[in-house]
Amino acid sequence: MKQQLMAAGFVLFSFMLPLKASAGTFGIDSIYVFGDSLSDTGNVFAASGQTIPPPPYSQGRFSNGPIWIEELAQKLELDSSPTLYTDVVNGATPKNGINFAFGGATTTSINTVSPLLPGLQQQIGAFAQPLIQTNQKADSHGLYVLWAGANDYLPTDADPNYFRPFTDTTQTINNLKTAVASLASVGATNILLVNLPDLGLTPRAQNFDPTLPVPNGTSQILSDLTEQHNEDLSKVIEDLDNVLAPDVKLISFDVNSVLEDVIDRPSKYGFKEVTKPCLFDQSIPSCAIDQSKQDEYLFWDGIHPTTTAHKIIGDRAFQTIAKSAQPVPEPSTALGTLGIGTLGAIAFMKYKRKKSLLTATSQVPNVQSTLTKKVKVGC
């Protein structure tokens, strides 16, 4: 598989922002998000001309309502969730950070929704490279969220000549380790690393997702990969803690344990169905439009949680941050200079037989005609 990254030029945003009299909860005043559809609040939706994901998915989210990042922002007492990267590219001033996450992103440069969309590597580069080039540092009061890896392993209907799911964790873990090191190298000091929920328990792996049947045995394979991934990620966090600068705090969020508890004790959380997805449950055909029914489901579709489940995840992420919180020095002046450089258009990949998507302008093109794959391809 041959890949070629396109250099799209830069649009640099340098501006003065008034610092808060004191930083937000636990000293956090902004969130920077890197990952896939589990954290994407609308980047793929904007890049696809508001076609992916389609209704009844909720306003660009891969769920039926707000997702965990939005819950976390609210818990941290930010007045909104981070600004979408696609909005920043089109000239919006970042507010409360930037969400770089794109549905379909793997930890590589590949995106399983479309080769024209970024993987994790481009997301990290879109944040870090302009800071390096302008000799600036990341927001020291920011929270840097990294949740990726599911699309590295999950079954996909992407062209196998373009991407095949990984059968071991080595490359994924190395990619995540590199991503953390890259963030730390430009000044990120509060990095939240999220492990993977048991992918073998997703409706897709259990063959409750009719859009993409999977071979027998896939569920156990994915459960084994998840277990190995989470063990390896824990080791990476321990190793990085020993080599990164003392002011870098790696916060480990065990989302796997959270969702395991939900599945083991669904009634405790108000769920009645933790196996079948609401969207494809033929026994309740109205589930896709009946909010009261949706709240009873853990899964919205074959791999994505419902907004009710996302609320639990966001709340537990907040609790994890609270346990790790340390005092943060107050800013010494009322104003501070924050230079944020972002790629004028993410280093979207050029795939063979595809025309160049981007120009050296700051506009994100409408790629609706090229994003023809359905939501089923990945997180």
User: Which amino acid appears at position 360 of this protein?
Assistant: A
Residue ranges of alpha helices (H) inside the chain are: 43-47, 68-75, 85-89, 120-133, 150-153, 170-185, 218-243, 255-264, 291-294, 307-324
- SS3 (DSSP) at 317: helix
pLDDT, tens digit, 9 for 90 and up, residues 89-141:
999 999 999 999 999 999 999 999 999 999 999 999 999 999 999 999 999 99
Strand order in the sheet with 142-147: 83-84, 97-99, 30-35, 142-147, 190-194, 249-253
What is the CATH superfamily name and number for domain 4-377?
SGNH hydrolase (3.40.50.1110)
pLDDT value of residue 157: 86
**Do the strands 335-343 and 10-18 form a parallel or antiparallel pair, or are they unpaired?**
antiparallel
pLDDT, tens digit, 9 for 90 and up, residues 239-295:
999 999 999 999 999 999 999 999 999 999 999 999 999 999 988 889 989 989 999
pLDDT, tens digit, 9 for 90 and up, residues 195-243:
999 999 999 999 999 999 999 999 999 999 999 999 999 999 999 999 9
Most confident of 288-302, 332-346, 364-378: 288-302
- SS3 (DSSP) at 326: coil
| Mean pLDDT of the region 62-77 | 97
Peptide bond into 53 cis (omega under 30): yes
Instruction: Name the phi and psi angles at 19, rounded to 5.
Output: -75, 150
